Structure 1
Amino acid sequence: MTTSPTSEATHTECLDTSGLYCPEPIMLLHEKMEELATNEVLLVIATDPATTRDIPKFCQFLKHSLIKQEEDEQQYRYWIKKSL
């Protein structure tokens, strides 16, 4: 799902992985998700194009909800709701 960069989504925490490349964004994402409570939303900011593949697969595998995804010329943003 891609939406405009100006659209709003709420989040509890933010993880900025700008400048990092695979596998670092996913490793940091995994650690951060363990810190969150069920149903909290994490905003992940990334610059690695591989995250467009890796983050949706991460969410699917661990049953988290990728509630929103957007990108512009400089970064990718993902809103992930933590499951049980």
Structure 2
Amino acid sequence: MSKPDHDAELDARGLFCPEPVMMLHNRINDVEPGGLLRVVATDPSTTRDIPRFCQFLGHELVSEQEKDGEFIYVIRRGE
């Protein structure tokens, strides 16, 4: 069994702005600084909102991709 490439996950599928970012704001605090949080969402507005969230709050957006109508982000928590 392989180790996941993230420390925690947030499933925001089916939620619409501003809920995914509000949930992200709470969930990122459960991750240690430097840890990785994987976010899965279906709201296209997250393609704008999550990069801005990271920029303003000092987190690193490690990756973002769209696959089968889902938006998948990996965020490294800042200090």
Q: TM-score range by the shorter chain?
A: over 0.9
Alpha-carbon deviation of 1:73?
3.0
Which residue of 1 is the match for residue 18 of structure 2?
A: 23
- Map residues 2-81 of structure 1 onto 2, 5 A cutoff: 10-81=5-76
What's the Cα RMSD here? 1.1
Partner Cα distance (1:73, 1:10) in 2: 20
If asked which structure has higher relative contact order (CA below 8 Å, sep 6+), I would say 1
After TM superposition, which residue ranges in structure 1, 4 or more long, deviate above 6 angstroms?
A: none
The unaligned stretches of length 5 or more in structure 1 are 1-8
Question: Would you tell me which structure has more strand in proportion to its own residues?
Answer: 2
Alpha-carbon deviation of 1:72?
1.9
TM-score by length of 1: 0.87
Identity %: 45
TM-score by length of 2: 0.92
The unaligned stretches of length 5 or more in structure 2 are none
Partner Cα distance (1:62, 1:11) in 2: 19
How many aligned positions are there? 76
Which residue of 2 is the match for residue 4 of structure 1?
A: none
